[in-house]
Amino acid sequence: MKAILFDLDETIILDDLICEEAFQAAAALAAPLGADQSRLARDAAAISRRLWGAGPYCDYSKRIGHSAWEGLLARYDRGGHPAIAGLREWAPGYRLQTWREALQLQGLDPTLAQAQADLYAQARRRYPRYPEIDAMLDQLLKQGYLLGIVTNGVPDLQREKIAGCGVAHLFHASVVSGEIDCGKPDPGIFRHICAELGVTPQDCVMVGDNPERDVAGAIAAGMRSVWVQRNARPKDPRFPADLECTNLSAMLPWL
């Protein structure tokens, strides 16, 4: 193996926990009005998914792997695809409606919705790394591996995450699905980073938490794969990885 390729969200950086904390922080703004904060956060999360799924950019977002909760904070100020420009116009109303509906379910004044939308985006802009990441990347570099990031999403947000998590300088290449209009598990995104690194798929190991995108994509591209189980995510027997682990430090002896 010459190159180790990593997914970003829930592989290198914590994502689900930060989302939950951001929903709770925004919901807390309504606590002085008598809101059930936990219920408000849950309702907003569910409403955002419903609105996103019914929105005009759902199909595009599925193709590149951009989620409803990411739509609550992405700026959409990078990338030339027409859907990016469309999302830039549509998303502010989507964010406001998410919190308006959540407030109305408890009979609360919906004028607080804009402040909640703004606070969610602010609270969500944290990109902490999983504890084992620093030592593992250091060892991989010492052993001479090329390192790459293969991540789904829109260009502005995924590039912000890569820069914000503090390890961008350790990677030799990175590709964002929204930059090339091709997302995991499509083999095209894997071929793209192989070309950037100057390696073949057979030279690579793909590491990720999502069996349907990371492992299935690696298999389709002809790569070996490592599945890291995060947040008790269930195994998908359709896509068996070459290594399964709950902590990426297990990858070092396996390599």
Which tens digits make up the pLDDT trace of 78-101?
999 999 999 999 999 999 999 999
Query: What span, in angstroms and rounded, lies between the C-alpha atoms of 214 and 208?
Result: 5
Same domain, 25 and 62: yes
What was the pLDDT predicted at 42? 98
Same domain, 152 and 101: no
Same domain, 63 and 7: no
Across the range 231-255, mean pLDDT stands at: 95
Residue 191 structure tokens:
């071929």
pLDDT more than 90, % of the chain: 99
Q: How many domains does the chain have?
A: 2
What was the pLDDT predicted at 215? 98
Same domain, 143 and 42: no
What was the pLDDT predicted at 129? 98
Across the range 162-178, mean pLDDT stands at: 98
Same domain, 38 and 98: yes
pLDDT digits (tens, 9 = 90+) for 3-41: 999 999 999 999 999 999 999 999 999 999 999 999 999
Average pLDDT value for the chain: 97
Across the range 176-203, mean pLDDT stands at: 98
Same domain, 46 and 132: no
What was the pLDDT predicted at 98? 98
Identify which has the larger pLDDT, 232 or 53. 53
List the domain range (segments joined by +) for residue 36. Answer: 16-124
Paired with 4 in beta bridges are 147, 205
For the entire predicted model, the pTM comes to 0.95
Tell me which of 124, 154, 171 is where a domain ends. Answer: 124
What was the pLDDT predicted at 199? 98
Across the range 190-214, mean pLDDT stands at: 98
Same domain, 60 and 177: no
Tell me which of 124, 148, 165 is where a domain ends. Answer: 124
